[in-house]
């Protein structure tokens, strides 16, 4: 038994010097170790694996820990003849071990056994869901995914995460993951570039982004559409309209081949509402959507479009008419919540727009110009105050000194905050854009590489094409020279 | 042959129901979205106009005389009886039965008991017979000329026929007859006179496209005799201006009218008088040109000065505008509004022209100000008696509403301060605007680049949306069947394997 423990804990340590030779060595050792762990009957069924588990550190001996844990879960399943024995439920012994592992595993080691890792995450998540503690599963999944940091690769675990977040209504927990820019999708490509070892830290993406790595379950187009739609729904629940619209853009602009997914249509409906709520207008759709897809959207989302038209025109009467008419539709599409927020957004945009026409006016005048619902001046004043406080508009309210209850609203131009905060705001924005650009630039380089779009390669291809074309020409001109009788008849007697 | 040609010449007369268009000579193009011509008068003018009907109508000859009288009769409540009686008299002296009937009909509506409000049956029947026999005679003659194959005779035959149709009010046939002359014209002066006839008919039909194309033909023709050229040129410019005015191109119309030589005199009275040129040109220029252009091209224009002398108030209005005295300018225009509403060509454009002039005045007025009080603006731009001016700066007053409309459609770059009742010109911080624009474009770029990258990678991974039947990754099913599908997570627990 101690032999076994010694073997299990004898994980090759990572080389400190990062050289190709060291990496290669490390890579080989890890592969051998995984092969060793995989052999059946490694752990005698008589012994108690718990002891091993206690003795192993999940961060140092991640691979052994993972295999032992899975072995034990399997034992428990066999014993109880249930897929989810009690000990794996939240609070159980195995649950605690699993969560501890998912928080502290070594991402480099785990790359050699992603399939097992993923199944453990799935199991933890479903255990949490069945015991209706989805939020615990969400946290564990989030930690696991953050720790693995599959930099920009979309995996089935991402989808699992957003599903759990929606299931448990704990939206903010999912944000660290949904805020990351995804660029890559696992492919079943045959020619993987083996310039990098799985364990090297420099460019892990190209090696990971294959189906063979087991980083993700088999994906279908529905999965990434769902992921972005669900992410958008998380943002919408948190009223982060810009991000929501960004995610929905990905869905509605998804590449298609002769078919439009229903998920995309749903996304288009939500896209309209999110943009109305966030910007008060419908921006133009991304340019890469092909026209026939747009036509499909427009024909299937007609009530939404006419609602948006009424909203954009500032026609309150028509808008509430449209909302009343479409009750059944909003209900069926589960968009009632979003639609009901339109009234407040309408008032908000009307008042913000007042800033372009007026520099000062009384609250009574504001009331008269918004007139969305019969409100008293007090209510509208509170509403305006909340808009000012939430930085939606830049204005100030002042009560008149004499006690006749009039309040003057002074509006200043622009929606930005105090100049002192402006600089900070711009700085933060720039920093965010810089990170995003870095990620994208990296993604572009990698994609170029995998798609073989380097300058030299293209030149080579062009050249070889020229050769083949000229070769064809030689052949075809030879044909004509052979004297086709039809050609002669049709020609002008040359 | 005859049939074929008539088919061909039918083409240009397409959108115009000839008779309705001829009522008042207005185009059926619904320029202001208003198509009430067939049902009733375009406007109703209650104010007495400044002109005297007799002397006004004496300026015109030919068919436009009746059309103008009829328009005044149907639109003005003040002059209706007088104008309609004159119209009936005018119609009775001509050969057009339908216009006589229309005039009598209109008169019977305003003055049912008048002796003239009854159709003179006997005269009408006689006229009908005369017209019919005349038509037959002319067509017979034309056929004879055609058999003789003498070009000049055929041309004259067609001309006579066209003239006859024109006089009897059959404008479509007149247009066709005149158009048929084209093949038989031998000299340029013949072509010119034919084109003028076509233009006259087209103007009456309200077929402004045809007017413009024929005017351009006419201008291309101008080459040889100088005297004829100088005689025709002002008419050409006036006709072109009229067509442009009616299609709403006020700046072009102003340019054409300004180019009209004063030698026009009363030579084009069957269409418009020199006074009309002054009014049309002046108003179009006022509505479409800025102050420098007005000064340079209108007031300092020696040839157009001759026209302006005929209508001194237009000249005064323009010079007031140039001197930034907007209130007198607008007052003059307002005073003559009734006159212009009773003008056959101007009627439909008065409102647009006036609004443009007014908007331009407001824009000009606030240029020098940083803050301008609404009171002082109301003093200038709210016309009418001063008693109602006390509440002109309220949110609900029409003047403030007008300003709001102008601000909202982007014409005025200012904002209203209802606390101190001033109009504040907007001075946005350019630096901030530029920064914001840059940040926006950066964000757009990031988003679009990301979107394109994702799309490229989706396609590469074979994950594009496709009909279920030909799922490219279906072949993986056999290979990767052992992997659990994520979609099943909530329905069943993924199976464990050793």
- Minimal C-alpha gap between A156 and chain B (Å): 6
Query: A217 and B449 in contact by Cβ < 8 A?
Result: no
Q: Are residues B314 and B411 in the same domain?
A: no
Beta-carbon separation of A440 and B415 below 8 A: no
Domains and CATH numbers, chain A: 2-219 (no CATH), 342-411 (1.10.10.10)
CA dist B89 and B81 (Å) reads 12
Question: How far away is chain A from the Cα of B328, in angstroms, using its nearest Cα?
Answer: 29
Rounded to whole angstroms, how far apart are CA atoms B36 and B245?
20
User: Is A129 in the B-facing interface, judged by CB distances under 8 Å?
Assistant: yes
Last residue of a domain, one of B319, B341, B368: B368
Q: Is A188 within 8 Å of B395 when comparing Cβ atoms? A: no
B420 vs A contacts (CB less than 8 Å): 360
Domain assignment present for B433: no
Let me know: does A342 contact A278? Beta carbons within 8 Å.
Answer: no
Structural domain count, chain B: 2
- Asked whether the beta carbons of residue A362 and residue B450 sit closer than 8 angstroms, the reply is no
Residue A205 has pLDDT above 60, yes or no: no
Is any Cβ of chain B less than 8 angstroms from the Cβ of A126? yes
Of A129, A256, A361, the CB nearest to B418: A361
**Under an 8 A CB cutoff, do B484 and A122 touch?**
yes
Q: A56 or B257: which carries more pLDDT confidence?
A: B257
Nearest to B90 by CA among B112, B118, B70: B70
Beta carbons of B451 and A220 less than 8 Å apart: no
Write the residue in A225, A288, A359 that is nearest to B416 by C-beta: A359
Position with higher pLDDT, A16 vs A99: A99
Q: Which residues of chain B does A410 touch, with a Cβ-Cβ cutoff of 8 Å?
A: 419
Residue B330 lies in a domain: yes
The residue with tokens 């420099």 is: A202
| Interchain pair A183, B457: CB under 8 A | yes
Are B329 and B403 within one domain?
no
- Is B329 in contact with B262 (CB distance < 8 Å)? no
Kindly state whether A222 is in contact with chain B, defined as any CB-CB distance less than 8 angstroms.
yes
- Kindly tell me the sign of the dihedral angle through the C-alpha atoms of B471, B475, B478, B483: negative
Interface contact A164, partner B, CB < 8 A? no
Residues B317 and B409 in one domain: no
Q: Is residue B301 part of a domain?
A: yes
Q: Which residue has the higher pLDDT, A202 or B208?
A: B208
Q: B455 to chain A: which residues are within 8 Å by CB? A: 253-255, 288
Residue B485, Cα to own-chain centre: how many angstroms? 68
Three-state SS annotation for A196-237: CCCCCCCCCHHHHCEHHHCCCCCCCHHHHHHHHHHHHHHHHH
- Dihedral of the alpha carbons of A348, A349, A354, A360, in degrees to the nearest 10: 30
Q: Is B254 in the same domain as B358? A: yes
- Asked if A220 reaches chain B (Cβ–Cβ under 8 Å), the answer is yes
- Residue A66 backbone dihedrals phi, psi, to 5 degrees: -60, -45
Out of B419, B442, B460, the one facing A451 most closely (by C-beta) is B460
Alpha helices in A301-418 (DSSP H): 302-313, 316-325, 327-333, 336-340, 342-357, 363-370, 377-389
The domain boundary, picked from B425, B447, B468, lies at: B425
Examine the domain organization and report whether B242 and B346 are in the same domain. yes
First vs last Cα of chain A: how many Å apart?
A: 96
Please report whether residue B188 resides in a domain.
no
Query: Is there a single domain that holds both residue B361 and residue B387?
Result: no
Q: Are residues B249 and B358 in the same domain?
A: yes
d(C-alpha A465, C-alpha A491), whole Å: 31
Residues of B in contact with A368 (CB under 8 A): 395
Query: Residue B175: helix, strand or coil by DSSP?
Result: helix
Chain B interface mutation, best of A66, A116, A185, highest count of B Cβ atoms under 10 Å: A185
The answer to whether the CB atoms of B415 and A156 lie below 8 A apart is no
Give the nearest partner residue to A253 out of B429, B451, B460, using CB atoms: B451
| Residues A476, A479, A483, A489, CA torsion sign | negative
CA–CA dist A257, B468 (Å, integer): 11
pLDDT for A474 beyond 50:
yes
The alpha-carbon gap from B438 to the nearest alpha carbon of chain A, in Å, equals 10
Chain B residue at shortest CA distance from A73 = B496
Could you tell me if residue B457 is inside a domain? no
B365/B361 Cα distance (integer angstroms) = 6
CB spacing of A254 vs B465 below 8 angstroms: yes
User: H helices within B37-79, ranges in order?
Assistant: 53-57, 63-75
A400-444 confidence digits (pLDDT tens): 776 666 777 887 765 455 566 678 888 888 898 898 898 888 888
- From the list A119, A218, A413, the residue facing B476 with the nearest CB is A218
Of the candidates A213, A152, A158, the one whose C-alpha atom is nearest the C-alpha of residue A185 is: A152
Quote the CA–CA distance of A119 and B485 in Å, as a whole number: 11
Instruction: From B368, B385, B415, give the residue that closes a domain.
Output: B368
Of residues A195 and A215, the one with the higher pLDDT is: A215
Å between A489 CA and nearest CA of chain B? 43
Range of the domain at B396: 369-425
CA neighbor of A409 nearest in space, from A377, A387, A384, A376: A384
Q: Minimal Cα distance from B405: which residue of A?
A: A357
Query: How many Å lie between the alpha carbon of B375 and the closest alpha carbon of chain A?
Result: 16
Based on the fold, state whether residues B265 and B311 are members of the same structural domain: yes
- pLDDT at site B338: 87
Q: Which of B416, B428, B451 sits opposite A358 (nearest CB)?
A: B416
Predicted confidence at residue A423, as pLDDT, reads 80
Q: Which residue of B has its CA nearest to A152?
A: B454
User: CB-based contact (8 Å) between A415 and chain B?
Assistant: no
Question: Token pair of A426, please?
Answer: 């711009």
Whole-angstrom distance, CA of residue B332 vs CA of residue B142: 54
| Chain A residues inside the 8 Å CB shell of B417 | 358-361
pLDDT in tens, A308-325: 998 888 888 888 888 898
Of residues A385, A102, A29, A226, the one with CA closest to residue A234:
A226
Of the listed ranges A147-151, A228-232, A437-441, the least confidently predicted one is A147-151
Residues of B whose CB is below 8 A from A447 = 453, 456-457, 460
- Distance between CA atoms of residues A229 and A264, nearest Å: 8
Provide block-wise average pLDDT over 10 residues at a time, chain B (498 residues): 38 35 37 37 76 86 88 86 88 86 87 80 89 91 86 88 89 90 84 89 90 87 66 87 91 91 83 89 91 88 88 91 89 89 88 91 87 85 62 72 85 82 78 85 91 88 74 44 37 37
- Is the pLDDT score of A380 beyond 90? no
Q: How far is A180 from chain B (nearest CA, A)?
A: 12
CB distance A216 to A123 below 8 Å: no
Q: What is the pLDDT of residue B487?
A: 37
Give the pLDDT confidence score for residue B484 in this predicted structure. 37
Burial of B205 (0-12, 13-18, 19+ CB in 10 A): buried
CA gap B236, B267 in Å, rounded: 12
Best of A89, A161, A188 to disrupt the B interface by mutation (most B CBs within 10 Å)?
A: A188
- Identify whether B109 is part of a domain: no
One domain for residues B375 and B363: no
Residue A480 scores a pLDDT above 60: no
For residues B251 and B314, state if they share a domain. Answer: yes
A448 lies within 8 A of chain B by CB = no
Contacts of A288 in chain B (CB under 8 A): 451-452, 455
Nearest-CB residue to A359 (from B415, B454, B490): B415
**Mean pLDDT of all residues in A272-284:** 89
B193 located within any domain: no
CB contact under 8 A, B418 and A356: no
Alpha-carbon distances of A464 from A449, A457, A459, A472, B225, rounded to whole Å: 20, 10, 9, 12, 71
CA distance A440 to A452: 18
Q: Tell me what the pLDDT averaged over chain A comes to.
A: 79
How many other C-beta atoms lie within 10 A of the C-beta of residue A424?
11
pTM attached to this predicted model: 0.69
- In eight-state DSSP terms, residue A15 is P
> What is the model's pLDDT at position B27?
39
CATH of the domain at B238: 1.25.40.570
For residues B376 and B296, state if they share a domain. no
CB contact under 8 A, A254 and B447: no
CA distance B273 to chain A (A): 46
**Chain A residues within 8 A of B489 when measuring between CB atoms:** 122, 125-126, 129, 160, 163
pLDDT at A450 over 80: no
Cross-chain Cβ contact B493/A84 below 8 Å: yes
Range 294-313 of A in CB contact (< 8 A) with B: none
Which residues in chain B are contacts of A313 at CB distance < 8 A?
Answer: none
Residues B256 and B307 in one domain: yes
The answer, for A185 touching chain B at a CB cutoff of 8 Å, is yes
B387 lies in some domain: yes
Strands A407-411 and A358-362: antiparallel
- For residue A464, with 0-12 CB atoms within 10 Å meaning exposed, 13-18 middle and 19 or more buried, which class applies? exposed
Contact check, Cβ <8 Å, B466/A257: yes
Judging contacts by C-beta atoms under 8 Å, the chain B residues touching residue A355 are 415
Residue where the block lists tokens 């009010």:
B169
Q: Are A194 and A250 in contact (CB under 8 A)?
A: no
Contact A94, A69 (CB under 8 A): yes
Q: Sort strands A395-399 and A407-411 into parallel, antiparallel or unpaired.
A: antiparallel
A:B CB pairs within 8 Å: 194
The answer to whether the CB atoms of A74 and B498 lie below 8 A apart is: yes
Q: Percent of chain A, pLDDT > 90?
A: 13
Q: Is A425 on the interface with B (CB under 8 A)?
A: no
């Amino acid at each position: 038994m101690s032999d076994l423990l010694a073997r299990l804990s004898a994980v090759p340590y990572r080389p400190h010097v990062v050289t190709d030779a060291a990496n290669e060595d490390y890579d080989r050792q890890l592969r051998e170790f995984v092969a060793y762990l995989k052999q059946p009957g490694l752990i005698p069924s008589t012994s108690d694996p718990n002891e091993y588990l206690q003795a192993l550190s999940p961060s140092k001996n991640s691979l052994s820990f993972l295999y032992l844990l899975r072995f034990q879960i399997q034992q428990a399943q066999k014993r109880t003849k249930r897929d989810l024995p009690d000990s794996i439920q939240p609070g159980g012994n195995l649950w605690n071990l699993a969560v501890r592992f998912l928080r502290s595993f070594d991402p480099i080691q785990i790359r050699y056994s992603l399939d097992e890792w993923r199944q453990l995450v799935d199991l933890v998540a479903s255990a949490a869901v069945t015991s209706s503690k989805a939020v615990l599963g969400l946290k564990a999944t989030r930690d696991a995914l953050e720790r693995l940091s599959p930099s920009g690769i979309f995996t089935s675990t991402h989808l699992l995460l957003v599903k759990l977040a929606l299931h448990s209504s704990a939206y903010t927990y999912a944000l660290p993951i949904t805020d990351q820019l995804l660029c890559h999708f696992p492919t079943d490509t045959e020619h993987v570039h083996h310039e990098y070892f799985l364990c090297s830290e420099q460019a892990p993406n190209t090696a990971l982004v294959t189906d063979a790595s087991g980083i993700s379950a088999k994906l279908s187009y529905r999965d990434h559409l769902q992921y972005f739609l669900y992410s958008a729904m998380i943002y919408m629940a948190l009223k982060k309209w810009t991000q929501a619209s960004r995610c929905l853009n990905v869905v509605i602009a998804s590449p298609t081949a002769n078919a439009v997914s229903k998920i995309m249509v749903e996304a288009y409906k939500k896209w309209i509402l999110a943009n109305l709520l966030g910007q008060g207008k419908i921006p133009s759709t991304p340019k890469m959507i092909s026209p026939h897809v747009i036509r499909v959207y427009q024909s299937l989302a007609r009530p939404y479009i006419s609602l948006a038209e009424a909203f954009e025109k500032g026609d309150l009467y028509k808008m509430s008419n449209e909302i009343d008419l479409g009750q059944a539709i909003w209900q069926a599409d589960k968009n009632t919540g979003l639609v009901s927020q339109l009234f407040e957004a309408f008032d908000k945009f009307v008042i913000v727009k007042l800033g372009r026409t007026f520099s000062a006016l009384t609250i009574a005048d504001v009331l008269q110009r918004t007139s969305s619902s019969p409100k008293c001046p007090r209510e509208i004043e509170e509403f305006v105050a909340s808009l000012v406080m939430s930085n939606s508009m830049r204005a100030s309210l002042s009560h008149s000194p004499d006690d006749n209850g009039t309040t003057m609203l002074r509006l200043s131009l622009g929606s930005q905050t105090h100049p002192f905060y402006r600089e900070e705001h711009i700085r933060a924005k720039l920093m965010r854009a810089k990170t995003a650009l870095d990620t994208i630039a990296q993604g572009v380089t990698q994609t170029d590489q995998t798609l073989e779009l380097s300058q030299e390669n293209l030149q080579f291809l062009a050249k070889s094409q020229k050769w083949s074309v000229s070769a064809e020409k030689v052949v075809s001109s030879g044909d004509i020279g052979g004297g086709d009788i039809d050609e002669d008849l049709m020609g002008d007697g040359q | 042959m005859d049939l074929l040609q008539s088919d061909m010449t039918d083409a240009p007369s397409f959108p115009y129901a000839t008779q309705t268009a001829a009522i008042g000579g207005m185009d059926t193009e619904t320029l202001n979205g208003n198509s009430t011509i067939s049902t009733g008068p375009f406007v109703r003018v209650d104010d007495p106009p400044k002109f005297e009907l007799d002397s006004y109508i004496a300026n015109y000859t030919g068919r436009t005389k009746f059309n103008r009288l009829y328009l005044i009769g149907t639109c003005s409540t003040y002059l209706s009886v007088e104008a309609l009686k004159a119209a009936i008299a005018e119609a009775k002296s001509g050969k057009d039965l339908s216009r006589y009937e229309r005039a009598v009909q209109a008169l019977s509506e305003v003055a049912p008991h008048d002796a003239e409000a009854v159709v003179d049956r006997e005269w009408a029947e006689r006229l009908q017979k005369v017209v019919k026999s005349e038509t037959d005679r002319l067509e017979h003659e034309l056929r004879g000329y055609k058999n003789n194959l003498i070009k000049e005779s055929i041309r004259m035959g067609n001309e006579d026929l066209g003239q006859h149709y024109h006089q009897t009010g059959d404008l479509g046939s007149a247009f066709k007859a005149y158009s048929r002359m084209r093949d038989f014209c031998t000299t340029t002066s013949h072509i010119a006179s034919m084109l003028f006839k076509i233009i006259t008919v087209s103007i009456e039909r309200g077929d402004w496209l045809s007017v413009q194309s024929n005017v351009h033909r006419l201008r291309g023709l101008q080459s040889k005799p100088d005297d004829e050229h100088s005689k025709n040129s002002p008419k050409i410019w006036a006709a072109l201006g009229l067509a442009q005015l009616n299609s709403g191109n006020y700046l072009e119309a102003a340019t054409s009218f300004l180019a009209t030589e004063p030698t026009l005199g009363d030579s084009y009275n069957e269409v418009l008088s020199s006074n009309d040129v002054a009014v049309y040109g002046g108003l179009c220029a006022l509505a479409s040109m800025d102050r420098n252009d007005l000064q340079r091209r209108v007031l300092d224009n020696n040839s157009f000065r001759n026209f302006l002398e005929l209508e001194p108030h237009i000249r005064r209005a323009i010079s007031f505008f140039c001197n930034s005295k907007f209130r007198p300018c607008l007052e003059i225009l307002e005073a003559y509004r009734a006159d212009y509403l009773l003008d056959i060509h101007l009627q439909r454009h008065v409102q647009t022209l006036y609004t443009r002039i007014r908007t331009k005045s407001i824009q000009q007025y606030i240029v020098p100000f940083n803050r301008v009080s609404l009171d002082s603006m109301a003093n200038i731009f709210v016309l009418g008696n001063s008693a109602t001016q006390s509440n002109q700066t309220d949110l609900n007053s029409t003047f403030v509403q007008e300003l709001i409309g102008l601000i909202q459609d982007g014409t005025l770059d200012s904002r209203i301060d209802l606390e101190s009742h001033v109009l504040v010109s907007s001075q946005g911080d350019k630096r901030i605007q530029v920064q914001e624009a840059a940040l926006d474009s950066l964000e757009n770029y990031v988003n679009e680049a990301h979107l394109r990258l994702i799309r490229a990678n989706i396609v590469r991974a074979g994950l594009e949306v496709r009909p279920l039947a030909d799922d490219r990754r279906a072949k993986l099913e056999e290979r990767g069947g052992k992997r659990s599908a994520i979609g099943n997570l909530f329905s069943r627990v993924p199976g464990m394997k050793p």
